[in-house]
Chain A
Amino acid sequence: MNQAQKEEYLREYSILKNQGKPFFPYAVAKDSIMAAIVLLVIMLLSLEFGAELGPKVNPTTTTYVPRPDWYFFFLFEILRVMRNVPKFTDMATIGVPTLCMIMLFLLPFYDRSPERLITRRPVALASGLATIVVIAFLTYSGANTGSPNEVDLSPPSGLTAAQVQVFRAGELVVGESGCGACHEIGDNGNNGPGPPLTHIGSKRLPGAIAATLRNPTAPMPSFANLAHQSPTKFRDLVEFLSMLQ
């Protein structure tokens, strides 16, 4: 906006403002009604849904569902979709939100036209609606994704029936332990921060896998407790991972 447009705006605004009503009590009345509605909605949500508490933290194992609150579903979904393209995962999880933030911050500085009526701002209308649709879609699909700790793989061919049984048992332990939160296993789990485990059996010997499970690099939790408390589960876990060729 140039100086003339600024002065034109200020002049028109002062006329509209002078034709208005005092903030108190007219606007305050509307705001108070709205505040009462907000309080009522919060109370009803609390009464209806409460604040249930999940199982207590257990950094070593057991089932859990690492899901964010609904307002982070869109980020969660970007992460889930982009994990198949490791090259772009960081760009998607950090780059896209950062870019969106910068675009939001700078909005008044790149959109400098004096026009305010949305029907005469086609670019703003289109990009605003597109943003809403994209966020709504990502939130919706983020909300409908299966729990990331479900692991479902088809066992490699050429296994004996007993080996398939171990495979299935190990798969269950992997799901319960929530490895998928940080590791990708086939089509399951998140790509990162841990390395993908899809072909871990061809890269590490069973002994090395067991050693890593007992003595992992942070932030991966140690599975030494599991090995101590239920050696069968631990053995299934190691054998399952070794079968991932």
Chain B
Amino acid sequence: MPKLPLLPARTRPARPGEGSGALDPIEAATEAGLTVVDWLDERTALSPGIRWLLFRKVPRGINWAYTLGSATLFAFLSQAVTGVFLAMYYRPSINSAYESIRNINDNVFLGQFVHGMHKWGASVMIALIFLHMARVFFFGAYKYPRELTWVIGVVLLILTLAMGFTGYLLPFDQRSYWATIVGVNINGTGPFIGPYLSDFLRGGPDWGATTLSRFYSIHMLLIPGLMAALIGFHLYLVTKLGISAAPWLNATEPEEVVEVVEV
């Protein structure tokens, strides 16, 4: 009768404080991902925040109308990415702006496609932001406790329109130039801050060499920076307060609450 194969004698695991604590290479390789996450989490303590963001519950009855906000955010991100690529080729000076856009359209690889995405992305973003606002309005989602979320949303709407206005000048063709002149002059007729606002936009009382670079800087640094910060705050509030429930649903006490637990 053959001998029963005995399990190899197991080494006693090291007591805390004994040994080096190093894993053998294969074990270490299989846990590489976890190790990296642990390393990051040990230093940043981000995992509770991520869990709070991703695994919060959204109320039942959420439908497609609730995706309009994130769709607007996505359009903003698309504008940011296409805008970065356009900025690589655009030259904001009155002598070369038009030619640089012409160069983007005619010579740069996929240039006209990216330029078109940026141009039409603006329209899509504005359409989405209005639809999102209509959803929030008709669902009464701006009411307690989400008033501040609404106010920030209105600021974001105005900034988005300001993006449309400042971006319109940049191709520097006839249409954009004259439309912007009319727009800036309308700004100038506003009460109190009107004249200061149009002086700020023009960089002085008259159109000058710096007006275009001023619009460019406002369009790609000032407003996007403000928008990114406010979008962050908007999303923080959405997560903190929870996505509003569908107004036609009535809350009923869940049965578990009254369930008799047998001991």
Residue of B nearest to A70 (CB): B123
Q: Does A193 touch B at the CB level, under 8 Å?
A: yes
Identify the stretch in B18-26, B169-177, B223-231 within 8 Å (CB) of chain A at 4 or more residues.
B169-177
| Alpha-carbon distance between A23 and B69 when the two chains are bound, in angstroms | 14
| Alpha-carbon distance between A192 and B253 when the two chains are bound, in angstroms | 63
Interface string of B111-144 (1 = CB under 8 A from A): 0111111111111101010000010011111111
Within 8 A of A (CB), among B154-177: 154, 157-158, 161, 164-165, 168, 171-177
Other than the given A53-B173, A68-B183, 5 more pairs (CB < 8 A) read: A11-B251, A24-B54, A30-B67, A69-B123, A182-B181
Assess the A114–B174 pair: CB atoms within 8 A.
no
Chain A residues, Cβ within 8 Å of B64: 30, 34
Chain B residues, Cβ within 8 Å of A13: 59, 242, 244-245, 251
| Alpha-carbon distance between A210 and B74 when the two chains are bound, in angstroms | 54
Residue of A nearest to B55 (CB): A22
Chain A residues, Cβ within 8 Å of B120: 42, 45-46, 49, 51
Chain B residues, Cβ within 8 Å of A161: none
Chain A residues, Cβ within 8 Å of B187: 94
Residue among A1, A12, A34, A65 having the largest count of chain B Cβ atoms under 10 Å: A34
Within 8 A of A (CB), among B163-216: 164-165, 168, 171-179, 181-183, 185-191, 194, 205-207
Q: Does B5 touch A at the CB level, under 8 Å?
A: no
Q: Give chain B's interface secondary structure class.
A: helix
Assess the A17–B117 pair: CB atoms within 8 A.
no
Identify the stretch in A115-123, A167-175, A199-207, A233-241 within 8 Å (CB) of chain B at 4 or more residues.
A115-123
Partner of A27, one of B62, B116, B191: B62
| Alpha-carbon distance between A22 and B137 when the two chains are bound, in angstroms | 25
Chain B residues, Cβ within 8 Å of A49: 116, 120
In the complex where A38-B74, A56-B173 touch, is A64 in contact with B178 (Cβ < 8 A)? yes
In the complex where A24-B54, A38-B124 touch, is A15 in contact with B175 (Cβ < 8 A)? no
Query: Could you write out 7 A-B pairs with CB less than 8 Å apart?
Result: A13-B59, A20-B60, A34-B67, A34-B74, A51-B112, A68-B183, A182-B181
| Alpha-carbon distance between A69 and B98 when the two chains are bound, in angstroms | 19
Within the complex, the shortest CB–CB distance from A14 to chain B, in Å, comes to 8
Assess the B177–A94 pair: CB atoms within 8 A.
no
Interface size (B, Cβ < 8 Å)? 95
Interface residues on A, range: 35 or more
In the complex where A51-B112, A66-B178, A128-B137 touch, is A108 in contact with B142 (Cβ < 8 A)? yes
Where the two chains meet, the residues of A that have a C-beta atom closer than 8 Å to any C-beta of B are 1, 6, 9-13, 15-24, 26-28, 30-31, 33-35, 37-39, 41-43, 45-47, 49-51, 53-59, 62-72, 75, 79, 89-90, 93-94, 98, 101, 104-105, 107-109, 111-112, 114-118, 121, 124-125, 128, 132, 178, 181-182, 190, 192-193, 218-219
Assess the A16–B179 pair: CB atoms within 8 A.
no
| Alpha-carbon distance between A219 and B141 when the two chains are bound, in angstroms | 45
Q: Does B12 touch A at the CB level, under 8 Å?
A: no
| Alpha-carbon distance between A128 and B140 when the two chains are bound, in angstroms | 12
Chain A residues, Cβ within 8 Å of B182: 66, 181-182, 190
In the complex where A1-B143, A46-B120, A109-B147 touch, is A67 in contact with B179 (Cβ < 8 A)? yes
Partner of A93, one of B134, B176, B189, B245: B189
| Alpha-carbon distance between A149 and B240 when the two chains are bound, in angstroms | 53
Top 7 closest pairs, chain A to chain B, by CB: A46-B116, A116-B140, A66-B178, A64-B174, A54-B173, A108-B147, A45-B120
Chain A residues, Cβ within 8 Å of B207: 59, 218-219
Residue of A nearest to B122 (CB): A69
